[in-house]
Structure 1
Amino acid sequence: MSKRVDVPALIFTTFSVLYPLIAVTLLRTFGAMAAFALVMVLLAGRLLLPVLRKVPLSLTVALIPVLIAMAAVSLFDVALSVRLYPVFMNAVLLVTFAISLMRPPTVAERFARAMEPDLPEAGVRYTRTVTEVWVAFFTLNGAIALWTVLQPGWDAWLIYNGAIAYAAAGLLFAGEYLVRLSVKRRGAR
């Protein structure tokens, strides 16, 4: 059975990855309000996905604080709200992962159980550790993203939020995958 592509989710993901480049291009071409408007429209569209596509509401509710925070900041400085989007998204991920440590199952355990419903206790402990690592990553990543917002100009912001942050997250994800394979091999012995 072939899996259908979720076009709205694909658009949102692509936008998220390309956001820094899109934001700077719109800002330089049409002004900060154009970049802000695009973000708000896409976030609002993403909030409608649970209603339109029967996506679990819990996967989308976290975007509401981002929408509110960006709107609030834009009342004072539209360009700043555009720059803060990666910081706000990172903060939401940090809070989501951290709360799951206090109220299990953790985020990593939920993903693991989607692939392996009968996750052994060792797997639960491992996923807790993975969630803790992601909390540390989101803390550091958010701090650096905020630092780039505070720098003059857009270069540091664009380089970090448009490339380095994604490369770091990708390396962490790949590294965790390799560690997981090693842990599973050792457990199979």
Structure 2
Amino acid sequence: MLVKRALSIAGGLAVIGWPFAVWLALSYPELHILLPILALCFVLRLCTLRGKTGALSRAFKGLALAGAVLSLASIWMREAQLLLWYPVVVNVVMLVLFGASLLSGMPVIERLARITEKNLPPAGVRYTRRVTQVWCIFFIFNGSVSLLTCLVGNVHWWTLWNAMVSYLLMGLLFACEWLVRQRVKRRYE
């Protein structure tokens, strides 16, 4: 259990540290040794997800596989620029996951809300649907800017967006949503 937890943490750090490692690998060719390490981290992440089911787990498995493939392709083709595409893949996968959940019976945010609140009132169901829609808009925006930074090819702009600005915007969205949720809960309690 401890080994699996350590592998899960390593995989999570690989995802968060990906933009910095890519920047290092692209800016300093002597640091291409990072590419096999990144591939290994994603393979380990994939291993920790083995046996888990559900749409979210499948999405995380797909992202781990995409990270490993991009890392291995970069090594094989000796073209580290391929690594820039991972944030675009992440945003597309998350948009598909969240968007598809809006078309199915239960949006992603509602599923997450029901983990702590089994009897979600109708107002809570409407609210979680709206939050899922907001996240879809975020993934479209963030993925578009990530795509633009890939196409421009400036590794410094790419790193600024994908390693800092997008994380700050995600944190801001989480914080704003939490504040709004507290207000909505008070109104309906």
Normalized against structure 1, the TM-score is what? 0.84
- Residue 44 of structure 1: how far off its partner (Å): 1.9
Q: Could you tell which deviates more after superposition, 21-30 or 65-74?
A: 65-74
Q: Which amino acid aligns with 1:64?
A: G
Residue in structure 1 matched with residue 38 of structure 2 by the alignment:
39
Residue in structure 2 matched with residue 13 of structure 1 by the alignment:
12
Structure 2 residue runs of 5 or longer lacking an equivalent are none
Residue in structure 2 matched with residue 109 of structure 1 by the alignment:
110
- Residue 76 of structure 1: how far off its partner (Å): 6.0
In structure 2, relative to structure 1, the CA distance for the partners of 1:129 and 1:148 (3 Å cut) is same
Alpha-carbon deviations, 1:103-145, whole Å to 9, x = none? 1311101110011111112111110100000000000000000
Tell me, in whole angstroms, the C-alpha distance in 2 between the residues paired with 1:129 and 1:8: 34
Tell me, in whole angstroms, the C-alpha distance in 1 between the residues paired with 2:172 and 2:181: 14
- Residue 56 of structure 1: how far off its partner (Å): 3.3
- Residue 35 of structure 1: how far off its partner (Å): 4.2
Tell me, in whole angstroms, the C-alpha distance in 2 between the residues paired with 1:18 and 1:28: 15
Structure 1 residue runs of 5 or longer lacking an equivalent are none
Tell me, in whole angstroms, the C-alpha distance in 1 between the residues paired with 2:123 and 2:176: 19
In structure 2, relative to structure 1, the CA distance for the partners of 1:96 and 1:82 (3 Å cut) is same
Tell me the percent identity. 33
Residue in structure 2 matched with residue 85 of structure 1 by the alignment:
86
Tell me the secondary structure at the aligned position of residue 6 of structure 1. helix
Q: Which amino acid aligns with 1:99?
A: A
Contact map agreement 1:69 1:88 (CA 8 A) in 2: no
In structure 2, relative to structure 1, the CA distance for the partners of 1:127 and 1:77 (3 Å cut) is farther
Normalized against structure 2, the TM-score is what? 0.84
